Amino acid sequence: MDKNFDLKRLNIKAFARDGLSLQGQQAVAFFERLSGLSVKDAESLTQSTQVTWGLVGEMVPVTGGEPEIWLHLTAEIQLPMQCQRCMGPVAIEIRADQSFRFVADEAIAEAQDDESEEDLLVLAPELDVWELIEDELIMSAPIVPKHEVCPTAVPMSVADEAFAAALEERPNPFAALAQLKKKPQ
């Protein structure tokens, strides 16, 4: 039996209890903040760019306690961004592969956060999975996107010929002082 899931309001506890998994694709335009990272003049490219994602829920047995609720998330996209060296567009592969363990409240999450390797989230009746996917991809994006080797020559000099010529034409203020010093009293 196929179930339809509302990923804006996913019941994580039931999803994990049933050991379900989902996967799919979503246009990057659906993710407002993520699409904001793309090159502004590549609008047509971002309309066809897809986020590929997958979710797996599971209950992990714990000795002497309640089973833990886990969600494993994978997401990836080839996002056109602006190279910070040559300022041209560059396709950056962004991947997120994260596991989340759900706990009862913020106090438990804060107490266990330092010693746990996985991310901890507070269990709520509903989880916005789209927002979680977008957050993870944004955090996985490079701070400084750039080509391995830029397709165009990158100027490595800050010298401006017009500025240098204007400096040479301007009279030196100390030359006027030198003239005053030479004048007889």
pLDDT in tens, 98-141: 999 998 888 888 888 888 888 888 999 899 999 999 999 999 99
Q: What is the average pLDDT across 83-89? A: 89
**Pairwise CA distance, residues 132 & 105, whole Å:** 18
Alpha carbon separation from 125 to 105, 149, 159, 177 (Å, rounded): 12, 48, 60, 80
Q: What is the dihedral of CA 94, 141, 49, 53, to 10 degrees?
A: 50
**Pairwise CA distance, residues 154 & 183, whole Å:** 52
Residue 1 pLDDT: 36
Asked if the model's pLDDT at residue 41 lies above 70, the reply is no
Residue 57 pLDDT: 95
**Pairwise CA distance, residues 87 & 146, whole Å:** 9
pLDDT in tens, 143-153: 999 999 888 88
**pLDDT-derived band of residue 77, with 50, 70 and 90 as boundaries?**
very high
Q: What is the average pLDDT across 160-182? A: 75
- More confident call, 3 vs 151: 151
